[in-house]
């Protein structure tokens, strides 16, 4: 069989595997027997073993273990299992600390203490202990719900069954990582590509007896829900874990200062090869629980922790050509097509060149030999050109002045804040007027955080576009299924499945809806903020009447950049048509309001001047947690004006005139039950 044929066969099998995986796990209606399903999996794994060039992120060798299994019941986590934001460099780390200090309203010389813990690359688990007894154990799942894998976890020797220490909390979720040591993995002689996949597969065996045969280990590092844990520091908690009989990482450290974090990082990175477990970075957690609490979370990650990923793997390759990719915001991104190279187990054949300036700055030419870096999950990029290998015929790249898709002029926006031209060149067409932009917008519309339609992936968007079945997002809800049924690779059942998945998403939350529109500068976080503010879709639509738009400035996190972007969005008639059409077809749910019956319900606040020891963002968040809201001007609607240092006189006078209650910071804290 030639290479192309092997690849075709491989992707056909993966497609079939995933189709059946979906039917089995998601729909609970398998169309093939378990044995046939297992055979299909083995065939894929064998192909991968025989032909090393085969790689797919959808392969069961990679994705196995992440799908919810019907062998286990799902259970809600009592506290969500969050993920971590990543940093890759000292600069990222410095910025992370600055942000934290800003949020806490601390000066630059304030020393933050971190618990620096090697990040084991295994499978996280949450173990509930009640009255000292191991009760249930859940996998992470989607962070909200995990699978009940108690029986399998009970086979792990590192997990104590009972803990009799007096100071062990009465009810607690102990969280940590299940993993396989490298030396044990090598002895296992199994079909898994790496210890992580092996740990994941082993934890999900149907029969705990099979799990027991695998030398799984457990290291504890955090907790979820707790009752009776009276500690102040993460380092104290880690110490206690050890006393209670859990294993903790011997390389955990308490450190302050970025310089110390960096030298610890480099030291451990050097040791990495000698360790008997895989680590992919260092987790930094703010050591003080009180500060952790103040910092809280952003969507699905805590503000109080960050993962410092180990520096990338890199390799030498050659630039074959430079292509232009067009994104959903019209951004033209140059991408280098490179001679495929294997970097850390992944075959890389594309590397982003970011923008025009980057190509000029690094003097990258077609034909050049280059150093390529692949850091974590980030798209590979070019670090440098080997000038000694430069030849005369290596061609300079001419950046297109017209959009390669629709021929419109390309432009660079002028940033009125930085007073500089944007580095990114964009297609100047009005979004849906450009074919490539439209396709990308629709891909965004169906993406995971947006409509997330099962079985409707990017490839399908491209196919349906090609067949003129879709042009605008609303077309997804008016598809002509009779045409799809006759397409290659489709049949009655798969069309039924697709129709079902689409129908499921006719009901959608307002935040997802806003996010799915793909408005520049309105990511998930901003979509959430806006949805909470406008409450329902018709209020959102009425933002298109410009005078309402500026009200959004009341939202902390929304600034001029977002307002300008929304204004441009609403000025475009096609966008309005898309929203209005979707409004007819869909049921967009009202935004869920954060706790309505708190002590500050229906009370409005405004802050003038600087508060001490607390940022505005945190104050606002505290008020909102108690159901109060913040407004940005003094009017009859305002209940309390809070004055800090150097308040605006005019605001105080206006408040006095309207007989609005004026509070000092201390008085506010009293209301919030918080000491300053």
Catalytic positions: 119
Per-residue tokens: 252: 């955990």
CB of 146 to ligand IVH, least distance (A): 11
With beta carbons less than 8 A apart as the criterion, state whether 413 and 426 touch: yes
User: Which of 15, 83, 182, 583: binder of ligand IVH (CB under 6 A)?
Assistant: 83
Per-residue tokens: 527: 């979509």
**Would you count residue 261 as binding ligand IVH (CB under 6 A)?**
no
**Strand segments (E) across 517-593:** 587-589
User: Which of 220, 286, 305, 660: binder of ligand IVH (CB under 6 A)?
Assistant: 305
CB of 87 to ligand IVH, least distance (A): 12
- The site that binds ligand IVH (CB under 6 A) totals a number of residues, namely 15
Q: In whole angstroms, how large is the CA radius of gyration of the chain?
A: 28
| Calpha distance 9→47 (Å, rounded) | 9
CB of 124 to ligand IVH, least distance (A): 3
Contact stretch for ligand IVH (CB under 6 A) within 38-46, 116-124, 364-372, 615-623: 116-124
- DSSP per residue, 305-352: EEEEEPPPEEEEEEEEEEEEEE-TT-BEEEEEEEEEEEETTEEEEEEE
Instruction: Report the candidate in 57, 244, 246, 49 with the shortest Cα–Cα distance to residue 165.
Output: 244
**Would you count residue 84 as binding ligand IVH (CB under 6 A)?**
yes
| Calpha distance 68→74 (Å, rounded) | 8
3-state class of 124 per DSSP? strand
Per-residue contact flags (x/-) with ligand IVH for residues 158 to 197, judged by CB under 6 A: -------------------x--------------------
**Would you count residue 139 as binding ligand IVH (CB under 6 A)?**
no
Contact stretch for ligand IVH (CB under 6 A) within 18-26, 67-75, 118-126, 381-389: 118-126
Contact stretch for ligand IVH (CB under 6 A) within 112-120, 232-240, 332-340, 390-398: 112-120
User: Given the complex with ligand IVH, which of 104 and 305 has the nearer CB atom?
Assistant: 305
| Calpha distance 346→342 (Å, rounded) | 5
**Would you count residue 120 as binding ligand IVH (CB under 6 A)?**
yes
Which of the 8 DSSP states describes residue 402?
A: B
User: Which of 21, 59, 124, 314: binder of ligand IVH (CB under 6 A)?
Assistant: 124
| Calpha distance 198→214 (Å, rounded) | 9
User: Which of 23, 220, 261, 283: binder of ligand IVH (CB under 6 A)?
Assistant: 283
- Which of positions 217-246 make contact with ligand IVH (CB under 6 A)? 221-222
User: Given the complex with ligand IVH, which of 115 and 405 has the nearer CB atom?
Assistant: 115
Residue count of the chain = 676
H or E segment and range at residue 10: helix 3-25
Residue nearest to ligand IVH as judged by C-beta position: 124
Contact stretch for ligand IVH (CB under 6 A) within 188-196, 302-310, 480-488, 657-665: 302-310
With beta carbons less than 8 A apart as the criterion, state whether 651 and 634 touch: yes
**Would you count residue 64 as binding ligand IVH (CB under 6 A)?**
no
C-alpha torsion angle, residues 67, 218, 74, 509 (rounded to 10)? -70
Binding residues (CB under 6 A) for ligand IVH: these are: 82-84, 117, 119-120, 124, 140, 177, 221-222, 283, 302, 305, 307
């Amino acid at each position: 069989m030639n290479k192309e044929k092997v690849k075709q066969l491989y992707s056909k099998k993966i497609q079939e595997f995933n189709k059946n995986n979906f039917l089995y796990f998601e729909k609970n209606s398998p169309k093939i027997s378990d044995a046939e399903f297992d055979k299909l999996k083995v065939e894929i794994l064998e192909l991968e073993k025989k032909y090393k060039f085969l790689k797919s992120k959808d392969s069961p060798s990679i994705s196995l273990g992440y799908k919810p299994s019907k062998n286990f019941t799902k259970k809600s986590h009592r506290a969500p299992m969050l993920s971590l934001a990543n940093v890759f460099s000292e600069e990222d780390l410095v910025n992370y600390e600055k942000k934290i200090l800003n949020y806490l309203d601390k000066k630059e010389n304030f020393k933050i203490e971190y618990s620096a813990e090697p990040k084991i690359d295994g499978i996280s688990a949450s173990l509930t202990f009640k009255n000292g007894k191991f009760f249930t154990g859940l996998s992470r799942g989607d962070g909200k719900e995990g699978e009940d894998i108690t029986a399998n976890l009970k086979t792990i020797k590192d997990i104590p069954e009972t803990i009799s220490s007096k100071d062990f909390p009465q009810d607690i979720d102990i969280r940590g990582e299940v993993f396989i040591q490298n030396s044990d993995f090598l002895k296992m002689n199994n079909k898994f590509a790496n210890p992580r996949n092996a740990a994941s597969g082993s934890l999900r065996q149907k029969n705990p007896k099979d799990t027991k045969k695998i030398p799984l280990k457990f290291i504890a590092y955090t907790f979820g829900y707790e009752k009776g844990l009276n500690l102040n520091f993460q380092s104290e908690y880690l110490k206690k874990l050890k006393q209670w009989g859990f294993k903790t990482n011997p390389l955990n450290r308490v450190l302050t200062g970025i310089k110390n974090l960096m030298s610890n990082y480099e030291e451990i990175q050097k040791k990495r090869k000698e360790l008997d477990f895989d680590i992919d970075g260092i987790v930094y957690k703010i050591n003080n629980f009180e500060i952790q609490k103040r910092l809280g979370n952003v969507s699905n990650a805590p503000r109080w922790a960050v993962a410092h990923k180990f520096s990338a793997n890199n390799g030498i390759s050659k630039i074959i050509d430079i292509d232009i990719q067009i994104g959903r915001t019209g951004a033209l991104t140059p991408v280098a097509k490179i001679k495929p190279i294997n970097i850390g187990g992944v075959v890389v054949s594309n590397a982003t060149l970011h923008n025009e300036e980057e190509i000029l700055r690094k003097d990258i030419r077609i034909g050049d030999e280059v150093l390529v870096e692949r850091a974590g999950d980030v798209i590979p990029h070019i670090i440098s050109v080997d000038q000694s290998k430069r030849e005369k015929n290596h061609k300079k790249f001419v950046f297109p002045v017209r959009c390669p898709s629709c021929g419109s002029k390309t432009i660079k926006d002028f940033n009125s804040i930085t007073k500089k031209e944007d580095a990114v060149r964009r297609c100047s067409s009005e979004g849906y007027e450009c074919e490539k932009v439209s396709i990308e917008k629709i891909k965004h519309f169906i993406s995971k955080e947006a409509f997330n339609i099962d079985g409707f992936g990017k490839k399908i968007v491209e196919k349906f576009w090609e067949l003129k079945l879709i042009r605008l997002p609303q077309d997804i809800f008016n598809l002509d299924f009779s045409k799809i049924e006759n397409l290659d690779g489709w049949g009655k059942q798969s069309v039924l499945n697709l129709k079902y998945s689409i129908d499921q998403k006719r009901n959608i939350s307002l935040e997802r809806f806003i996010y799915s529109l793909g408005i520049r500068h309105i990511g998930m976080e901003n979509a959430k903020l806006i949805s909470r503010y406008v409450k329902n879709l018709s209020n959102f639509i009425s933002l298109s009447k410009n005078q309402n738009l500026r009200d959004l400035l009341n939202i902390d996190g929304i600034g001029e950049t977002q307002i300008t972007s929304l204004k441009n969005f609403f000025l475009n008639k096609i966008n309005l048509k898309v929203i209005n059409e979707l409004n007819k077809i869909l049921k967009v749910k009202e935004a869920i309001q954060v706790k309505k019956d708190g002590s500050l319900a229906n009370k409005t606040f405004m802050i003038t001047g600087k508060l001490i020891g607390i940022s505005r963002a945190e104050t606002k968040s505290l008020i909102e947690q108690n159901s109060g809201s913040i407004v940005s001007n003094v009017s009859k609607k305002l209940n309390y004006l809070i004055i800090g240092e150097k308040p605006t006189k005019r605001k105080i006078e206006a408040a006095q005139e309207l007989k609005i209650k004026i509070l000092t910071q201390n008085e506010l804290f009293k209301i919030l039950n918080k000491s300053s």
